[in-house]
Amino acid sequence: MDPNAAASSGSVDYGRSPPPGFPGPPDYIPSSIPPRTPRRTPAITQPTKKLKDRISKFDNNFDVTWAPRPPPEVMYERLEEYFPEHDLDKPVIDAPSGGTSPTATEAPAVPVQPRFKHKKSIRVVAAEHKRQMDRTSRGDNSTVAPLSRKRHTKLWGSKLEEVTTEQGKGPLSSTASDGSPGSGGGTKPVAIFRWVRGELIGKGTYGRVYLALNATTGEMIAVKQVEIPRTASDKDDSRQVTVVEALKLESETLKDLDHPHIVQYLGFEETPTFLSIFLEYVPGGSIASCLRKYGRFDEEVTKSFTGQILSGLEYLHSRGILHRDLKADNILVETSGVCKISDFGISKRTDDINMAAAYTSMQGTVFWMAPEVVNSKGKGYNSKIDIWSVGCVVFEMWTGQRPWSGQEAMAVLLHLYQTKQAPPVPDGIVLSPLADDFRLQCFAADPDERPSAAELRKHTYLELQPGWSFNGFK
């Protein structure tokens, strides 16, 4: 697309005031992407001054990105670095604790009751799980059943107990809650899982994400948390209340999802202090962090990642879910090259994914936003907004830049409102005819002319070279 097309048409003047009827700003308009100058921002992992002053190991000295997440095997060898606020050698975990491993395929109907009273330390539990992983990787399944796609037992309905910093270093006591929102408790025995919170590993649209350890089984997981409003001023803060409600909705929307290209949701916990969603731990980083580190991707890597994203999106849409915030920051990439869609903080479930009147609120991040989100003319929007956003993610992989690079958010909103045009391809980026056709289909101004995720997966551009496999970015 000609980057000067809009200017030459005379239809856009970024210096003018917004036209009559121009909508108010969406829930999240980012400022310009800041220059990547080092600036330390302390990671808050516990509400104490000592922890506020400590920097997360995953904070790589830039505000706009996070250090890559290492594979679990590495963290098992260096537990002190990733769980620095815990006494890893203190016996705090009942052995056996009851329940089953979160790597099993299904949760038990009735938990196994513990037969022993002695306790294990966090280090011992982690070492046992590490040995289990090693046996599985060697193909020795005499004592361990083969694992398929790192499947996890969902923790919904289980009792979840956090081993906090204070509990891990002092007399043992714990807080517990049922593992699903709104559960009624009752007398039915439930499986018990204890967990330990480690380093801050990222920030999403809502809340913070921490490394965590399932201390019952030794499995590395992740936990996404938001703080519960407690003071009068907190409760009057509509933003904070909205964040809490969004996390509850997120957990309800996603607890039944199971797909190889979607980050798996494992459970939910509510305490007087935090709301927590438990997720599978994905080693590696986001597509955005990989782009910042390596630059724009090779063509085959882009094709592979795009096909995987569309596979996950097709599944989401088949379950009636609009993501509404697809961007390179929200696609995680395992070190093996497997992509997983994450961060469902503003996703929505609908009975009819194709119904244009499904939603009318302006949600998402401006630079990845479809024109009909900005100017729906009262008709609303549907799942095709995610297709536009996929086009923006592929644009990032082609160019190594975010869409509309160099432009302010309000200018982009005005441009989308008036022209419905796609982000211009930067000078020096040459797309093949197939790639350009793929781009044009994603960025069709009329959402009805955009293909569905299932249709777009069949595009000829995404065909990989015979025998190709992911071996890194360079």
Residues whose CB falls within 8 Å of the CB of residue 51, separated by 6 or more in sequence, listed in order = 44, 45, 85, 165
Alpha carbon distance 92, 103 (integer Å): 22
Is 224 annotated in some ligand binding site?
yes
Name the packing angle between helices 384-399 and 287-294 (round to 10°): 20
Q: 199, 70 in Cβ contact below 8 A?
A: no
Q: Dihedral of the CA atoms 312, 314, 318, 322 (nearest 10)?
A: 80
User: Which two tokens mark 263?
Assistant: 């980050």
Tell me whether the omega of the peptide bond preceding residue 96 falls within 30 degrees of 0, making it cis: yes
Beta bridge partners of 120: 93
Question: Could you tell me the CA-to-CA distances from 227 to 153, 204, 208, 231, 278 in Å, in that order?
Answer: 26, 14, 10, 11, 15
Q: 191, 100 in Cβ contact below 8 A?
A: yes
Question: Could you tell me the CA-to-CA distances from 310 to 164, 314, 326, 348, 405 in Å, in that order?
Answer: 39, 6, 11, 18, 24
Radius of gyration of the chain (CA): 23
What size, in residues, is the chain? 474
Question: Could you tell me the CA-to-CA distances from 363 to 50, 55, 287, 386 in Å, in that order?
Answer: 37, 32, 21, 12
Q: 80, 88 in Cβ contact below 8 A?
A: yes
Known active-site residue 386: no
Residues whose CB falls within 8 Å of the CB of residue 46, separated by 6 or more in sequence, listed in order = 85, 164, 165
H or E element at residue 393: helix 384-399
Phi, psi of 312 (to 5 degrees): -65, -40
Of the residues 59, 325, 343, 386, only one is catalytic, namely 325
Nearest to 416 by CA among 372, 361, 379: 372
Name the packing angle between helices 299-318 and 384-399 (round to 10°): 160
DSSP for residue 345: T
| Annotation: binding site | 224
Residues noted as catalytic: 325
| Annotation: binding site for ATP | 224
